[in-house]
Amino acid sequence: MALIDTLTPDKRLPVQEGTPEASTSRRRLRACHECDWLVQLPPLRHGQSADCPRCGHTLSTRHSRPAQRSLALAIAALLTLVMAVSLPFVSFQVSGLGHRINLTETATSLIGLHQPLVAVGVVLAILVLPMVYLVCVIWLQAGLLRRTLLPASRDIARALSHLHPWMMADVFIVGALVSLIKVAGMAEVSLGLAFWAFCCFALLLLLTTQSLDADWMWFSLVGEPAAPEGARIGERAAPQGLTGCPTCGLVNRLGAAGNGRCRRCGERLHARQPHSLQRTWALLAAATLLYIPANLYPIMITTSLGHTEPSTIIGGVITLWQHGSYPIAAVIFIASILVPVSKLLAMGWLCLRVPHSDDLQGVARTRLYRITEFVGRWSMVDVFVVAILVALIRAGNLMSIAPGPAALAFGAVVVLTMLAAMAFDPRLIWDPPLARPSPTHGSPPSSDADKDAAHDH
């Protein structure tokens, strides 16, 4: 089986036959994206995964029939999304007046109320990006099953990893449930078929993302070039002039300037993300500044029987608590207050502690980073609550809800904190202090236990 060492972006390459485990003549090296430890992947069977022996980060997961599984799930998710967009989503009725909305109206209503940026964010997170992601998965897996790559397959495969963090269908479902519980105390609410279709879509989208076997997919797309000569496993990659591609995982040798491009997927490579701490601090500072108006100004304005009442985030939590809606108050408090503040503090603390990091504390700090990165997107619950209520509650002076100026500020806080987590390079947590200014410094001696390759479950 011939594997390629150089790639031509516009050339339609045949799909590589077999599995990565069949390539016994090549060392399949990986540099952990979170601690920079260089390991050799063991052969994996279906249902097994390989973890970094240093920090526990999952390097690869093998699935049974990965192309068929991902293709079937993606097609099913796309069909349920079409149903969710086409059918009535939810309706309400109060004092003889009612209103029914479709899913797309959660965004279009915001445009009519002078919140176009929030509307764009909502429609991208729940509709556009998931649809693009699913079409990309179908395009790739169809080509793999035909054993002939379709045009632009390599660029599409690169795009999948960049799209994944910004799809928030599951967060929108939580926001919808919170909205409906809040409305249920004021009016009669009826769930349309689109609501249940969107719930199925969110579940299928999650299963689709989990079904992607990136290691197998990239091997099938363009094979695996030989590992760089002289690479030593059980040591950090950067002092050896090596780095792992964050998109396809391939270990590459960097140029003299400490950068380059991946030989397999073409992604830009750096020994460490350029100006990682500076960019993280800048994004955290911007998010902190915006978090002040996000809490001082009203996030939505409610009109009931001609009386207008603005509501801030914390004011809404207090009101829900006073009315006995303790679970909903807790969800809003955690998502809109506790998570953003905790994320700002955690990311700031990680940045401050980077110069004082060591291997003994590296595991705990890396886990903190993973948690911080994971929970950040769930703060969008409050923005989705506003979008749904604004579209649904439209009965004039009898009862209506409009978005407040804090909606845009709070949405910006969520985006900025997510970008801050992406800008932070967790490998800095594990770097010796003398190694941070230049990736060419040597690494300290490692124990025999640390030099073990990745272990499989």
Query: ∠ at Cα 417 (415, 418), nearest 5°?
Result: 65
Q: What is the pLDDT of residue 13?
A: 55
pLDDT digits (tens, 9 = 90+) for 423-454: 999 999 988 875 544 444 433 434 433 434 34
393-421 pLDDT, tens digit each: 776 666 778 888 999 999 999 999 999 99
Structure tokens at 149: 């790559």
- For residue 23, what pLDDT is reported? 58
Cβ partners under 8 Å of residue 157, min gap 6: 136, 140, 217, 218, 221, 247, 248, 265
Per-residue pLDDT reduced to its tens digit, 184-201: 766 678 888 999 999 999
CA distances from 391 to 91, 104, 112, 211, 411 (A): 10, 9, 10, 34, 18
Convert the pLDDT of each residue in 244-255 to its tens digit.
Answer: 999 988 999 998
SS3 189: strand
Dist CA 416 CA 273 (whole Å): 17
Counting runs of H as helices and runs of E as strands, what totals does the chain give?
15, 16
> What is the pLDDT at residue 10?
41
Q: Which residue, among 54, 61, 79, 104, has the nearest Cα to 388 in the 3D structure? A: 104
Residue 280: its pLDDT value, please? 96
pLDDT at 11 over 70: no
pLDDT band at 9 (very low <50, low <70, confident <90, very high): very low
Token pair of 97, please? 């007046």
Nearest to 178 by CA among 407, 344, 387: 387
SS3 353: helix
CA separation for the pair 443, 369 (Å, rounded) = 23
Q: What pTM was computed for the model?
A: 0.85
